Amino acid sequence: MVQRDSIAPGGIVGILGGGQLGRMIAMAAARLGFKTHIYCPEEDAPARQVAYQWTVGAYEDIPRLEAFAASTDVVTYEFENIPAETAKLLANRTLVRPHPAALEIAQDRELERKFLTRIGVPVSPFHIVSTRQELDRAVDAITLPAVLKTRRGGYDGKGQAVLRKAADADSAWEAVAGAPSILEKFVPFKKEISVIIGRGQDGQYAAFDPSENRHRDHILHQSLVPCDEPEPTMVAAHQHAIRIAEALDYVGIMAIEMFVLEDGALDPLMINEIAPRVHNSGHWTIDACHVSQFEQHIRAICGWPLGTSARHSDALMQNLIGDEVLEWRTFMTNPQLCLHLYGKNPPRPGRKMGHFTRLLPLGTSRSQINSG
Amino acid sequence: MVQRDSIAPGGIVGILGGGQLGRMIAMAAARLGFKTHIYCPEEDAPARQVAYQWTVGAYEDIPRLEAFAASTDVVTYEFENIPAETAKLLANRTLVRPHPAALEIAQDRELERKFLTRIGVPVSPFHIVSTRQELDRAVDAITLPAVLKTRRGGYDGKGQAVLRKAADADSAWEAVAGAPSILEKFVPFKKEISVIIGRGQDGQYAAFDPSENRHRDHILHQSLVPCDEPEPTMVAAHQHAIRIAEALDYVGIMAIEMFVLEDGALDPLMINEIAPRVHNSGHWTIDACHVSQFEQHIRAICGWPLGTSARHSDALMQNLIGDEVLEWRTFMTNPQLCLHLYGKNPPRPGRKMGHFTRLLPLGTSRSQINSG
């Protein structure tokens, strides 16, 4: 069903955040005939280079945010750590999608764990930790090994510490700087996968095939599709994603990272994290699918029907982090790679500068993918 | 070989012309990390919506053109009717690709016909017509039916008149308003195809599979790939395209429209027209190829190696002309269509407002493509 209140081409899509995700959302919006307005604190943001309008402003600058909201037909965000207050202020003046409520849950690992537990998707046992004493009690309750994670603000392995023995508690508590945290039981897993799911305003959903994610230095290095797991595991992954999106009455693209547990586990999957936005592990969809995660996000937030999430190819996406981007001559010389550079400079260590996708015919064996 | 003088990501690509072709070139440039600068006379140009910088200026405004040139690392153009003087002025101050010489030939049907004849690719018999008397002589020499075309400025069927009998000469001469013209023998053909060929700075080339082009009211309506002709015809089409690109020492994407003649013709193909730019009949490459014509163009003009011209899908591209774009709700509801809207308003009759591509698995039969 076409929504009566869908936003027509020519409308203005506001995007909070000017990084590469905002940039790729802006390009997808332009493809569908929308104009874009970027709002971010940085002068020289990658998304600005492809946007119709932009405002440089702090996320606490109420008059600027109000003017930004007034210029848009819908506002979305490229990352989940914008202040929930900012999203609420905007939501009083324009359409904000996904709902600010999804932000609040994703920003707070305690709310997120409790939400996931309540709706019955599998998460590892956890314990809230607000003081050093509570950490000891949590270690007793959960049993080690376990991972201590700050409730708020963690990403790319920051704000985390592994506890293998009780004596690790002191250094772990130091690593999280005494911030409100959660201790999660470490469950041995074979691999991390993620499901990128889009949900429309009408409740329709479209989930991309799960990808296998490989990390290096706690930063996503590669995503591979398909993820080489048996069909029932894939179906379960999609079912978990749908349950989460439904329970949030979500509109837009959401990423759900899951662990595939060692053979013999009661449940083959465990939810690691949800991100209420387009996601690095879905970049392969630009080149391997008819409709990318970015276009799907635009379709959803503008009240359009979703496109197909079908793939025409197998794919391996690889991030170009920091200095790796200086090898662009090598990547561009390989005619089979779809290269994406984010217009960032300089290539600081750990900075995501670009990515490439290697496309392979459907049904390519995993050993062939790995050998490329 | 990587050219030593290739332009690194972060460089500025100048684009003359702000229409949908400039817009899609700009988006492809951004994907590879380039910034774009649009120069065009229109205030509200579609390409402006996705560009890093833009200048509103006439193609004869020398100071503005000089400032534009100074801001860029390379300049290209989205259409061939910019004054050759403009291209030459820019070429004295920055890199202009394709060479202005290709513009001059493509702007003048007499130069083009003579060039094609000289390099030995097949064109229909023609005769130069500068006066009404010469038209009579040309009719005698060529024999009818024939088509009278102005030497300069024709497009989408404008500046053309068909002569079926000698008595049509008066109305044909009126139709071209007495402008310097060419009379071309009408050769019966089965279909029009086009070859989109990219040629790099190092002479490397990559040609996309020829498409079949279907017109409505003299405007391109659909392009279909593959074009359903025997392999030797396809090979010949590529060979003609390569010969033309080589002879021009061309750098960038070029489109070559050809007629596939009725069975039994001496030569299966005849060159209709060359366009020294990205082309409407190559829009299917965005969705059906690893590397689109737009990215290939950017790679070539920036001195990068070309990407592959391989296709992962069969494709049918259809233009949305004028009011047809108001049916966007219908197109977006079909989840199999890749929709592209150009950010134009209003939808005047004959105006190219967008297109869609229907992707089909490789090897889909022509009847299935037609029935969709």
Kindly determine whether residue A33 and residue B343, on different chains, have CB atoms separated by under 8 Å.
Answer: yes
**Residues 6+ away with beta carbon under 8 Å from A44:** none
The shortest CB-CB distance from B335 to any of A306, A313, A361 is to: A306
User: Tell me: the pLDDT tens digits for B111-140?
Assistant: 999 999 999 999 999 999 999 999 999 999
> Which range, of A275-289, B200-214, B352-366, averages the lowest pLDDT?
B352-366
Q: For the sheet with A181-185, list strands across it.
A: A126-129, A181-185, A146-150, A160-163
Residue of chain B minimizing CA distance to A292: B338
Q: Alpha-carbon distance A286 to A265, whole Å?
A: 34
Q: Average per-residue pLDDT in chain B?
A: 94
Mutate to test the interface with A, among B27, B49, B333 (most CBs of A within 10 A): B49
Q: Which residue is closest to A312 within chain B, CA to CA?
A: B312
Please say if the pLDDT value at position A280 is more than 80. Answer: yes
Q: Which of B8, B313, B341 sits opposite A33 (nearest CB)?
A: B341
Q: What is the ipTM of this complex?
A: 0.94
DSSP, residue by residue, B66-135: HHHHHT-SEEEES-TTS-HHHHHHHHTTSEESS-HHHHHHHH-HHHHHHHHHHTT-----EEEE-SHHHH
Task: Report the candidate in B227, B233, B275, B221 with the shortest Cα–Cα distance to residue B252.
Answer: B275
Average pLDDT for B6-17? 96
User: With contact defined as beta carbons under 8 Å apart, do A312 and A289 qualify?
Assistant: yes
Neighbouring CB atoms inside 10 A of B143's CB total 10
- Closest partner residue to B31 (CB to CB) among A299, A313, A340 is A340
pLDDT score of A264: 82
- What pTM was estimated for this model as a whole? 0.95
Q: How far B182 CA sits from the closest chain A CA (Å)?
A: 39
pLDDT tens, position by position, B307-358? 999 999 999 999 999 999 999 888 888 887 999 999 999 999 999 999 999 9
Q: Which residues contact B4 (CB under 8 A, 6 or more apart)?
A: none
- The minimal CB distance from A343 to the residues B30, B299, B306 is found for B30
**Distance between B231 CA and the closest CA of chain A, angstroms:** 23
Range with the poorest average pLDDT among A146-150, B5-9, B26-30, B256-260: B5-9
Nearest chain B residue to A3 by CA distance is B329
Task: Mark yes or no for CB contact B333/A305 under 8 Å.
Answer: yes
Res B369: pLDDT:
78
- Facing B335 at nearest CB: one of A32, A307, A312: A307
- Given this model, what pLDDT does residue A153 score? 79
pLDDT tens for A24-56 read 999 999 999 999 999 999 999 999 999 999 999
Chain A residue numbers touching B205 (CB-CB < 8 A): none
* Interface contact A30-B10, CB threshold 8 A: no
Interface probe, candidates A1, A31, A341, chain B, greatest B C-beta count within 10 A = A31
Q: How far is A55 from chain B (nearest CA, A)?
A: 14
Indicate whether B303 pLDDT > 90. yes
CA distance A115 to A250: 14
| Contact residues, chain A, for B9 at CB < 8 Å | 325, 328, 341, 343
| Residues of chain B found within 8 Å of residue A338, distances taken between Cβ atoms | 290-291
Greater confidence, A264 or B236? B236
Nearest by CB to residue B343, choosing from A35, A287, A361, is: A35
Give the residue on A whose Cα is nearest the Cα of B346: A10
Per-residue b or e along A100-137, where b marks 16 or more CB atoms closer than 10 Å to that residue's CB: bbbbbbbbbbbebbebbeeeebbbbebbebeeeebbee
The pLDDT value given to residue B257: 97
Query: Are residues A284 and A317 in contact, defined by beta-carbon separation less than 8 angstroms?
Result: yes
pLDDT of B4: 52
Q: Do A306 and B359 touch (CB under 8 A)?
A: no
Q: Are the Cβ atoms of B335 and A52 closer than 8 angstroms?
A: no
User: Looking at residue A1, what is its pLDDT?
Assistant: 39
Closest C-alpha to B318, from B338, B296, B290: B338
> What is the least distance, in Å, from the CA of B332 to any CA of chain A?
7
Q: Do B30 and A49 count as a contact with CB atoms less than 8 A apart?
A: yes
| d(C-alpha B140, C-alpha A202), whole Å | 68
Percent of chain B with pLDDT over 90: 85
Rg (CA), chain A: 20
Question: Which chain B residues are within 8 Å of A335, Cβ to Cβ?
Answer: 206, 291, 305-308
Residue A278 in contact with residue A98, Cβ under 8 Å? no
Task: Check residue A372 and give its pLDDT.
Answer: 59
Please tell me the distance in Å from A266's CA to the nearest CA on chain B.
37
Chain A residues in contact with B36 (beta carbon < 8 A)? 49
CB-CB under 8 Å, A290 with B339? no
Do A332 and B8 lie within an 8 Å CB cutoff?
Answer: no
Report the residue from A50, A299, A312 with minimal CB separation from B30. Answer: A50
- Chain B residues closer than 8 Å to A51 by CB: 50
Closest CA to B15 of B36, B1, B45: B36
> Do residues B140 and B194 make contact, with C-beta atoms less than 8 angstroms apart?
no
Q: What is the pLDDT of residues B70-117, one digit of tens each?
A: 999 999 999 988 888 899 899 999 999 999 899 999 999 999 999 999
DSSP of A256-292: EEEEEEPTT-SSSEEEEEEESS--GGGTHHHHHBSS-
Q: Judge whether residue B2 has pLDDT over 70.
A: no
Chain B: residue nearest A362 by CA? Answer: B312
What is the reported pLDDT for B157? 63
Kindly determine whether residue A341 and residue B31, on different chains, have CB atoms separated by under 8 Å: yes
Interface probe with A: pick from B13, B339, B352, most Cβ of A within 10 Å: B339
Return the residue of A nearest to B37 by Cα. A49
Question: Angle A279-A200-A277 (CA atoms, 0-180°, nearest 5)?
Answer: 20
B340: nearest CB among A31, A51, A341: A31
Name which of A311, A315, A301 is nearest A356 in CA terms: A315
Neighbours of A60 (CB within 10 A): 12
Q: Residues near B264 by Cβ (< 8 Å), separated by ≥ 6? A: none
First vs last C-alpha separation in chain B: 43
Q: Give SS3 for A205.
A: strand
Structure token pair of residue B358? 């229907």
Contact B33 A342 (CB under 8 A): yes
- pLDDT for res B260: 97
Give the per-residue pLDDT at A118. 98
d(CA A133, CA B250): 74
Smallest CA–CA separation between B108 and chain A, in Å? 34
Query: Is residue A62 scored above 80 in pLDDT?
Result: yes
Distance from CA of A26 to the nearest CA of B (A): 9
Q: Which residue of B has its CA nearest to A287?
A: B290
DSSP state of A121: -
Is the pLDDT assigned to residue B207 strictly greater than 90?
A: yes
Mean pLDDT for the stretch of residues A114-135: 96
When scoring A15, A20, A49, A357 by the number of chain B Cβ atoms within 10 A, the one with the most, hence best to mutate, is A49
Q: Are B328 and A35 inside 8 Å of each other by CB?
A: no
Taking the CA atoms of chain B, what radius of gyration do you get in angstroms? 20
**3-state DSSP call for residue B8?**
coil
Residue A50: closest CA among chain B residues belongs to which residue?
Answer: B50
Interface contact flag, A338 B6, Cβ < 8 Å: no
With CA atoms as reference, the chain A residue closest to B313 would be A312
Establish, for the pair of chains A and B, how many residue pairs have beta carbons separated by less than 8 Å. Answer: 119
Q: Looking at beta carbons, which residues of chain A come within 8 Å of B23? A: 30
Q: What is the pLDDT of residues A147-180, one digit of tens each?
A: 999 999 766 667 789 999 999 999 999 999 999 9
Predicted pLDDT of residue B158: 72
H-assigned helices in chain A:
20-31, 62-70, 84-91, 100-107, 109-119, 132-142, 169-175, 231-247, 284-288, 293-301, 328-333, 366-371
Pairwise CA distance, residues A267 & A122, whole Å? 8
At residue B72, the pLDDT reads 98
Task: Annotate B36-80 with three-state secondary structure.
Answer: EEEEECCCCCHHHHHCCEEEECCCCCHHHHHHHHHCCCEEEECCC
Say if CB B26 and CB B19 are below 8 A apart.
no
Residue A55, number of CB atoms within 10 A of its CB: 19
Per-residue pLDDT band at A365 (split at 50, 70, 90): confident
How many angstroms away from the CA of B299 is the closest CA of chain A?
Answer: 9
Question: Is pLDDT at A355 greater than 50 in this prediction?
Answer: yes
